[in-house]
């Protein structure tokens, strides 16, 4: 049985819709936009969000078929886990669990190594019909590491939520994702963060539960 949304959240969404007007988005895209605005209080995100063709439908089908969710931070994992448990009980794993505890940070990042290690581990057990769903809300280097692997011939994710936040390497990593063959939901520019990436994922989990596509 569907778990109802909190009344305060529903009232917030009603307010957000009244301010947005007609967005031209489909139902799932609209729900994602509403959740990221609710999480950030920032209506300007409407002009930044980009969806690859049919990405929401593909992502929902992947989640329904048991796709794992990989996150780049424990914060995103913590923000997604309650919705996953309330809806379709997706398995969530943070890539940092696959990273060494200490590295030479002048050469790489723990996130980049964690992404590479977790994707190579997935490849060893590969099921091409159930590729993981990747949530990037912090680390552009993790996103670049994944794109490098895909471009080298490894499996594409079911979805990449590309929302790293900040200034160094962030816009460049998002531009590379937008020009890749991977399915994506991206916030262009410097905006992003774990809360927005998690809100996007939670909208898709809710849609997978309710059957909206």
Q: What is the dihedral of CA 170, 176, 178, 180, to 10 degrees?
A: -150
**CA distance linking residue 55 with residue 200, whole number of Å:** 12
127: number of Cβ within 10 Å: 12
Active-site residues, by number, are 38
And the tokens for 148?
A: 């490098």
**CA distance linking residue 82 with residue 88, whole number of Å:** 11
And the tokens for 20?
A: 């947005």
53: number of Cβ within 10 Å: 7
Length of the chain: 213
């Amino acid at each position: 049985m569907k778990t109802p949304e909190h009344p305060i959240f529903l009232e917030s969404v009603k307010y957000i819709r009244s301010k947005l007007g007609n967005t031209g988005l489909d139902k799932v895209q609209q729900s994602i936009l509403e959740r990221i605005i609710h999480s950030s209080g920032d209506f300007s995100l409407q002009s930044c969000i980009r969806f690859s063709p049919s990405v929401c439908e593909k992502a929902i089908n992947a989640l329904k078929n048991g796709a794992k969710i990989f996150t780049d931070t424990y914060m995103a994992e913590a923000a997604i886990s309650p919705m996953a448990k309330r809806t379709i009980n997706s398995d969530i794993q943070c890539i940092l669990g696959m990273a060494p505890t200490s590295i030479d940070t002048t050469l790489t990042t723990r996130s980049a190594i964690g992404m590479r290690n977790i994707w190579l581990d997935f490849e060893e057990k590969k099921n091409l019909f159930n590729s993981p769903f990747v949530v990037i809300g912090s680390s552009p280097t993790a996103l670049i590491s994944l794109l490098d692997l895909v471009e080298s011939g490894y499996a594409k994710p079911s979805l990449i939520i590309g929302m790293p936040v900040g200034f160094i390497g962030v816009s460049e990593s998002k531009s590379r994702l937008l020009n890749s063959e991977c399915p994506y939901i991206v916030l262009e520019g410097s905006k992003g963060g774990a809360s927005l990436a998690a809100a996007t994922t939670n909208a898709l989990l809710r849609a997978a539960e309710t059957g909206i596509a």
